[in-house]
Amino acid sequence: MKNKYLLVYIISSLLLTTITIGCKIADSESQKQKVEYKIQNKGHELVYGMVQHVGTYQKLIELKDVSYRYTYQTPDGKKDISIEKYIFDGELSYGKYEQHDRTFADLTGIIEQGYDGQIYWLKHEGQVVDDSLKLKRVAFNRPTNFYWFAMFQKLLDPGVEYNYLGDTTIDNKIYDKVDISFQSEDHKPTDIYRLFINQKTGLVDQFLFTVADFGVMETPLLMQCQYEKVDGLMIPNQRRYKKSTWDAEVTDDPWIMVTWSDISFNNNLTIEDFQK
């Protein structure tokens, strides 16, 4: 009997030792990964930590693709409603617009936009549209919609620069402020983001942004977010934005509302789903 208990003790000790060694190895690998990633500064470190909270781009790659319902409504009641589909590896993007008061309002009926990894395309009621001006708009819409969905993950992309601005208190919540800018090879103006990272939750409750493509640089827009957890990811699926100052002081103007609903990952999408 004593030998039996001794055997159990030895096995338990070996298991505990194995688990301890395993944990040390895991911690070592985690530290190695962080060192290899080369954190630039405190602002970069805060953004890196935030992305661990919402879910990394590697997590998106593992989930392969996403489908969701996108609703964009302006204060005058106009709406864009589309079914969005993306494949994360290659950033393929597709949108089927059921309502498009703001996107190609001159067209009636269903419109489809796509990017298959090589070309942008547009269809109206199933017919291919070869209008260079409209295709230019598609070439803006497709990567922009994709980027908004994966924005927080992509803030760790190469070429992103970070500047920590200290902390601030808004509505009794303490935030770390981090400015995000992007390297530009042709020296054209690029978008600027100012993140307000909640010190308690590690999430971005709100952020300021510019839209360089439309010349919106001097007066930023403030985006506020609410999150939903889907497949282990924190998705900022309830959004609203309007004009602001760089101190996050908003005007009395009404909000523009953006909602992502019916979010579904890993839908077995293929490249054929993104071709015209």
- Structure token pair of residue 246: 């760089």
* Burial grade of 23 (CB within 10 A; 0-12, 13-18, 19 or more): exposed
CB half-sphere exposure, 242, CA atoms < 13 A: 12
Under the banding of pLDDT at 50, 70 and 90, the label for residue 14 is very low
User: When comparing pLDDT for 217 and 172, which is higher?
Assistant: 172
- Alpha-carbon span 66 to 63, nearest angstrom: 8
Q: Distance between CA 41 and CA 164 in Å, rounded?
A: 8
Under the banding of pLDDT at 50, 70 and 90, the label for residue 268 is very high
pLDDT at residue 212 greater than cutoff 90? no
**pLDDT higher than 80, residue 11:** no
Instruction: Tell me the CA distances in angstroms from 138 to 24, 123, 269, one per residue in order.
Output: 50, 11, 21
Domains and their CATH numbers in the chain: 42-274 (2.50.20.10)
Closest CA to 209 of 223, 198, 196, 197: 223
- pLDDT category at 4 given cuts 50, 70, 90 is very low
Mean pLDDT of all residues in 197-222: 85
Residue 80: the pLDDT is: 97
* pLDDT tens, position by position, 102-157: 999 999 999 999 999 999 999 999 999 999 999 999 999 999 999 999 999 999 99
Q: H helices of the chain, where?
A: 2-37, 42-54, 57-63, 132-154
Judged by DSSP in three states, 210 sits in: strand
Q: Which residue has the tokens 């070592």?
A: 28
Which pLDDT score is estimated for 191? 83
Q: Residue 7, Cβ neighbours under 10 Å: how many? A: 10
Helices 132-154 and 42-54: crossing angle, nearest 10°? 100
CA angle centred on 225, ends 222 and 226, rounded to 5°? 160
**Count of positions (residues) in the chain:** 276
In contact, 57 and 156? CB cutoff 8 Å: yes
